[in-house]
Amino acid sequence: MRKNIRFPAALLVLLATACGPKDLINKTKYGGKTYKNTCQSFKKEVQATLDANNDPATLRISEYDNSQFDPTFVEPGQFIQARDTLYFRLANDLEYGKYLQKNVAIIVRVDYSTPSHLANMETDQQGTIGELIITESYYKANSQPFFIYKVPLGGKHLDGKQVSLYFSIVKMEKGKITKVYCDSRKKPFGPADPPCCTSQPWAKIRTGLRSALPDLPIRDEQYRYEGFEGTLDLIFPIMSTRFNRKELSDAILQYVDKYEKMGYVVQKIKIEGYASPDGRIQLNQSLAQGRMEAVSKDLQEHFIKKLKRDLPIEGVGRGEDWERFEILVKTADFSQEERQEILRIAALPAHEDEREKQLRKLKYWPKIREKVLPFCRHALVTFTFNYQLDKMYVERYGAAVPLLAPELYNIATKTFIISRFRPGANARQNLNVLNVLIDTRGNRTANLLAMRSTYYFALNDLKNAVRDIEAAASIDKGNPIYGIAALAYRTQGIQELSREEAMQMLERYNDLITRSPNDRSLYINRAIVMDYVGWLSGAIADNTKVISQDGRLAVAYNNRGVSLMKAMRLLEAEADFLQATSLDATLAEAHYNLALLYAYKGYPDKAAQAMERAISLQPDFRKELGNNPVFRVVRDHPRFSRLAN
């Protein structure tokens, strides 16, 4: 497998001169010109190369689609570790052709060192990778289509290390050095204290890291409907305000009492009295009012006088029930022709008595009187139930349901489950439920607050996530895991911290891991801090440890891929991102990181495809199209243009 690397800091080129008295190396003809090469001219050219490559402000990315090339076809200023060899090109490189004549060779030595703020964390703090002897024949053999430096690594990884190049120019005969013109190893030349790793270009790029939550002791919670409405329809004889009182009392005893024992208590009752559309409207209005009052009297006897319940009972006499008349006509045993004629008359913009007069003229009026009108003489009683046992409810059931219907029992016994955030869950919908349970209903328990914090975290609302988990900790003071979770949330927002604050956070993780060495979340999150301060080898090692224990953790693969990408081990990074998306297709960060990687390498179609998926999962990533310099080359690609718009 190829392993890629980008030098994590400004290029340090060291040069010293130890020339003979005449300072002359050779005289050559190159590119149609004659050159008199001296140590001074060599020194100036090395300095120009140093200046061109020692600028951490520019992230050099591919300027074209290089997907058809071998990965070692790097851009000027890029470095790749592949096949245990360090490959790199230099911007404004030396003009080797004008020096490498008359047995002259240039030796490039590659050293590495650990940044000072990480010196006490790395066991392999500094050393030499190796030397590359560039002769005229070697240069000609390796300069097409451009010259690439190739230095064997001997199994070393340079993740997060600073790399220094030392140039010497010598005379060689029969493969041996016979004279040293300029030797950087005796007297170093160039900046002695290069910028630290966090000044590298990748430190300015927003990558998609996701911290891991500890195994929070969050149990599932149940909640119910806030309430519902049950209706009872009482039928009256013609021209009567008397009704079957046993039907009402049975409904109260068998159904209302049952729901009240389940915690759904009647809060109010509404009675609507009706008459059938036969007879004069004034008489029917009086009948409707009388029917309402008759039912109201019985309900007051039961709830107010017998049970001593201060229950509001509202009533109204509606008059003739033309709405129910039309419903019954549509369902009764009429021919299509009969039904259309009846409904036409019922819809006339005429007085109710005039409509009744026309209906009576129909030859099938007796059929109407038998099948429709008796069921329009009724009182509709609506019981409004509210849940009283606790405050674990969210919303009311929307439609009124007959009191005697099995559906109402299903509504009363219906329980909903709310859990901590898990991939695939509708985070915003569940967050709305928790907001009602906690803020509106007042259920400020440690369990619910910790649960809500996981949804804020999933939505990248770290401020509210920390607020809720700290509130949970203040309620359940004996549970230290909440404090660890708060640290995990802050780790997700590590970009807001200074290096000093991050180093303090790293010390805290070191202490926690000493006490809880089997908590995988601690290793994943410590790796994020390591990545932030530039300790890429440590970050890669921590995530590798987690993956070796559980190869199903998409977050660990994604985060390791970020560190590998920053170390320019691009093929390994790509493999990790693809594995992360395979394990969890909803992990937006992994798709986003793939887009970064493909854009950097110059694969616009692949980058756009990955970015489309990332934005669909986390719309906030859309703003990175304009803000992130990695996308500056490919953002004009048609697919990226559509994304931006």
Give 338-373 pLDDT, tens digit per residue: 999 999 999 999 999 999 999 999 999 999 999 999
Average pLDDT over residues 585-594: 96
Read off φ and ψ for residue 461, nearest 5 degrees: -95, 80
pLDDT of residue 63: 73
If residue 266 lies in a helix (H) or strand (E), which one and from where to where? strand 264-275
pLDDT of residue 65: 78
* Residue 71 in domain: yes
CATH of the domain at 288: 3.30.1330.60
Q: How far apart are CA 635 and CA 303, in angstroms?
A: 72
Burial label, 280 (beta-carbon count in 10 A; 0-12, 13-18, 19+): exposed
* Residue 517 in domain: yes
**pLDDT higher than 60, residue 20:** no
Please tell me whether residues 190 and 312 are part of one structural domain: no
* Residue 7 in domain: no
Residue where a domain terminates, one of 175, 204, 233? 204
Please tell me whether residues 291 and 159 are part of one structural domain: no
Burial label, 339 (beta-carbon count in 10 A; 0-12, 13-18, 19+): middle
Please tell me whether residues 194 and 243 are part of one structural domain: no
Please tell me whether residues 261 and 164 are part of one structural domain: no
Q: How many domains does the chain have?
A: 3
DSSP three-state, residue 346: helix
Give 425-467 pLDDT, tens digit per residue: 999 999 999 999 999 999 999 999 999 999 999 998 999 999 9
- What is the pLDDT of the chain when averaged over all its residues? 89
**Among all chains, which residue has been given the structure tokens 């500890």?**
214
**pLDDT higher than 90, residue 23:** no
**pLDDT higher than 60, residue 7:** no
Return the axis-axis angle of helices 536-549 and 554-566, rounded to nearest 10°: 160
Q: How far apart are CA 423 and CA 587, in angstroms?
A: 8
User: Residue 6: which pLDDT band, with cuts at 50, 70 and 90?
Assistant: very low
pLDDT of residue 55: 64
User: Residue 58: which pLDDT band, with cuts at 50, 70 and 90?
Assistant: low
Q: What is the DSSP string of 32-86?
A: TEEEEEEHHHHHHHHHHHHHHH--TT-----SS--TTS-TT-PPTT-EEEETTEE
Residues in the chain: 645
Q: Give which of 227, 8, 2, 3 is closest to 117, Cα–Cα.
A: 8
Give 294-334 pLDDT, tens digit per residue: 999 999 999 999 999 989 999 999 999 999 999 999 999 99
User: Residue 186: which pLDDT band, with cuts at 50, 70 and 90?
Assistant: low
Q: Helices (H) and strands (E) in the chain — how many of each?
A: 23, 17
DSSP three-state, residue 460: coil
Count the neighbouring beta carbons within 10 Å of the beta carbon of residue 179. 13
| Torsion sign (Cα): 634, 640, 644, 645 | positive
pLDDT of residue 568: 79
Please tell me whether residues 165 and 106 are part of one structural domain: yes
**pLDDT higher than 70, residue 10:** no
Please tell me whether residues 188 and 238 are part of one structural domain: no
Q: Could you tell me what percent of the chain has a pLDDT over 90?
A: 66
Average pLDDT over residues 576-598: 96
Q: Give which of 478, 424, 474 is closest to 449, Cα–Cα.
A: 474
Burial label, 498 (beta-carbon count in 10 A; 0-12, 13-18, 19+): exposed
Count the neighbouring beta carbons within 10 Å of the beta carbon of residue 622. 14
**Among all chains, which residue has been given the structure tokens 């070692």?**
72
Contact assessment for residue 478 and residue 493, using Cβ atoms and an 8 Å cutoff: no
* Residue 449 in domain: no
Q: How far apart are CA 359 and CA 353, in angstroms?
A: 10
pLDDT of residue 201: 65
Please tell me whether residues 231 and 196 are part of one structural domain: no
Query: If you compute the radius of gyration of the chain from its CA atoms, what whole number of angstroms results?
Result: 41
Average pLDDT over residues 375-399: 97
Q: How far apart are CA 116 and CA 197, in angstroms?
A: 10
**pLDDT higher than 50, residue 616:** yes
* Residue 44 in domain: yes
Give 40-53 pLDDT, tens digit per residue: 889 888 888 877 77
Q: How far apart are CA 234 and CA 290, in angstroms?
A: 13
Please tell me whether residues 25 and 106 are part of one structural domain: yes
DSSP three-state, residue 391: coil
pLDDT of residue 414: 97
**Residues in contact with 385: Cβ distance below 8 Å, sequence separation at least 6, in sequence order:** 227, 228, 229, 230, 259, 260, 264, 265, 266, 267, 412
User: Residue 187: which pLDDT band, with cuts at 50, 70 and 90?
Assistant: low
Greatest alpha-carbon pair distance for the chain in Å reads: 134
* Residue 125 in domain: yes
DSSP three-state, residue 470: helix
Give 400-416 pLDDT, tens digit per residue: 999 999 999 999 999 99
Contact assessment for residue 522 and residue 509, using Cβ atoms and an 8 Å cutoff: yes
**pLDDT higher than 70, residue 77:** yes
pLDDT of residue 185: 61
Q: How far apart are CA 595 and CA 613, in angstroms?
A: 9
pLDDT of residue 5: 39
Q: What domain range is 563 assigned to?
A: 490-644
Paired residues of 105 in beta bridges = 170
pLDDT of residue 244: 96
Range scoring the smallest mean pLDDT among 63-72, 223-232, 566-575: 63-72
Could you tell me whether strands 264-275 and 162-173 are parallel, antiparallel, or unpaired per DSSP bridges?
A: unpaired
**pLDDT higher than 50, residue 21:** no
DSSP three-state, residue 257: helix
pLDDT of residue 72: 66
**Residues in contact with 587: Cβ distance below 8 Å, sequence separation at least 6, in sequence order:** 210, 423, 554, 555, 558, 580, 581, 617
Contact assessment for residue 128 and residue 156, using Cβ atoms and an 8 Å cutoff: no
Range with top average pLDDT, 147-151, 322-326, 633-637: 322-326
Average pLDDT over residues 83-108: 89
Query: pTM for the complete prediction?
Result: 0.73
pLDDT of residue 67: 74
If residue 232 lies in a helix (H) or strand (E), which one and from where to where? strand 227-235
| Torsion sign (Cα): 155, 160, 162, 167 | positive
Average pLDDT over residues 79-84: 77
CA torsion 599-601-606-608 (nearest 10°) is 10
Q: Give which of 86, 13, 10, 5 is closest to 48, Cα–Cα.
A: 13
Please tell me whether residues 187 and 269 are part of one structural domain: no
Q: Give which of 639, 561, 631 is closest to 600, Cα–Cα.
A: 631
Burial label, 463 (beta-carbon count in 10 A; 0-12, 13-18, 19+): exposed
pLDDT of residue 118: 79
Please tell me whether residues 594 and 631 are part of one structural domain: yes
Give 200-236 pLDDT, tens digit per residue: 567 778 899 999 999 999 999 999 999 999 999 999 9
Amino acid at 127: G
What's the half-sphere exposure (Cβ side, CA atoms, 13 Å) at 283?
10
| Torsion sign (Cα): 463, 464, 469, 472 | positive
User: Residue 71: which pLDDT band, with cuts at 50, 70 and 90?
Assistant: low
Please tell me whether residues 307 and 251 are part of one structural domain: yes
Q: How far apart are CA 639 and CA 624, in angstroms?
A: 15
Read off φ and ψ for residue 384, nearest 5 degrees: -100, 115
**Comparison of pLDDT for 11 and 573, the residue scoring more:** 573
* Residue 477 in domain: no
**Comparison of pLDDT for 74 and 205, the residue scoring more:** 205
CATH of the domain at 572: 1.25.40.10
Residue where a domain terminates, one of 379, 413, 447? 413
Residue where a domain terminates, one of 394, 413, 432? 413
* Residue 188 in domain: yes
Paired residues of 35 in beta bridges = 28
Please tell me whether residues 255 and 295 are part of one structural domain: yes
Peptide bond into 145 cis (omega under 30): yes
